[in-house]
Amino acid sequence: MNSSISIWEILMLLCFACSWPVSIVKSLRTKIVLGKSPIFMVIIIIGYIFGIIHKICNDFDLVTFLYLFNLLIVSADLCLYFYYIGKNKRDLLQK
């Protein structure tokens, strides 16, 4: 295990951890997800999984939990997408 924690990695993950809740709140407030890309969110989730695997195998420290937190937040946003997309498409067709 490497005991040096990268402040830059922490700051990057904290920025992401702040931005995803904004997206989630917007989805919950407006109930509109038509502009979101589920493929993009899946790619981000896969990236976080790779980051977690790296941290567990090579450099396990508290930063690992930031990766996990971000993974959960993006997953929640993806769940909201699938929850609202059907209604959004139906509403669009009715107009």
Mean pLDDT for the stretch of residues 5-26 = 94
> Over the stretch 39-63, which tens digit does the pLDDT of each residue have?
999 999 999 999 999 999 998 999 9
> Over the stretch 19-44, which tens digit does the pLDDT of each residue have?
999 999 999 999 999 999 999 999 99
- The pTM of this model reads 0.88
CA-derived radius of gyration, the chain: 16
DSSP conformational letter for 35 = T
